[in-house]
Amino acid sequence: MSRKKSSPDRSRAAAPPTAVDKPLRIIGGHLRNRPIHYSGDPRTRPMKDRVREALFNLIGPQVEGRHVIDLFAGTGALGLEAISRGAARATFIERHFPTARVIRENIASLGVETQCQVFAADTFLWLRQQRSREPDLLTGEPWLVLCSPPFDFYIDRLPQMHALLSDLRRAAPSGSLFAVEADQRFEFAHFSDLGHWHVRHYPPAVLGIATTDSDPTAE
């Protein structure tokens, strides 16, 4: 009898945590409180609401008028939050085709298709490809580069992460901002050659913000 009773308990314990995740929403700006679809796919790890809010509080009005580049875009929540807060346009890069489709659906549901472009592509290769295919995409407004990949990438693929951000740093227009989310295993000293990082801790997440010119949080 004890084995029969314990079996359902084990089944419930094995259920993936994404099954009970609450719906995502836009936190601020003109799209505030609008929902964002999240499929619960474990390959997608949306930034926590409190961390997303902290990030945009740190950046403040500097998001306005920028070209947002949402690397490892997932649901698109970061780029869409930036659009809601006044970014001029957003480019989303997500290699998982079904997840890229979710981004497009979220863009359509929010009615911001004219400001957004989605690439179902490998983020590590995207910049190199765009330079030859669509160079005008990378010109114009200063960028806000949003980088929130699977945290293991900073361990398993650190050289590629460094190369990606280095290439973007060299290509970015003057005055561009970089916002990177990692976890507490990562040291932003690994990226010190890319500039000064303003680092804040929101356990288990760590945010680093840098600019191509100066400290973005300076008054």
Res 18 pLDDT > 90: no
Calculate the dihedral angle through the C-alpha atoms of 86, 168, 211, 30, rounding to the nearest 10 degrees: 10
Q: How far apart are the first and last CA of the chain?
A: 68
| All domains of the chain in start order, with CATH | 2-211 (3.40.50.150)
pLDDT in tens, 52-97: 999 999 999 999 999 999 999 999 999 999 999 999 999 999 999 9
Instruction: Return the percentage of the chain with pLDDT > 90, whole number.
Output: 71
pLDDT in tens, 160-202: 999 999 999 999 999 999 999 999 999 999 899 888 999 999 9
Name the pLDDT band for 45 (thresholds 50, 70, 90): confident
Q: What is the mean pLDDT of residues 133-162?
A: 91
Pull the structure tokens for residue 143: 């960028």
Name the pLDDT band for 22 (thresholds 50, 70, 90): low
Cis status of the peptide bond prior to 16, with omega within 30 of 0:
no
Res 12 pLDDT > 70: no
Answer yes or no: are the C-beta atoms of 99 and 118 closer than 8 Å: no
- Could you give the strand order of the β-sheet that contains 205-211, starting from the edge strand earlier in sequence? 116-119, 89-93, 67-71, 143-147, 177-183, 205-211, 198-202
Mark 25-37 as b/e (b = at least 16 C-beta within 10 Å). Answer: ebbebebeebebe
Q: What is the mean pLDDT of residues 108-134?
A: 93
Answer yes or no: are the C-beta atoms of 104 and 118 closer than 8 Å: yes
Q: What does pLDDT average to over the chain?
A: 86
pLDDT at 80: 98
Res 23 pLDDT > 80: no
Higher pLDDT, 213 or 155: 155
The pTM (predicted TM-score) of the whole model is: 0.85
Burial class (CB in 10 A: 0-12, 13-18, 19+), 128: exposed
Res 214 pLDDT > 90: no
Name the pLDDT band for 216 (thresholds 50, 70, 90): very low
Res 36 pLDDT > 90: yes
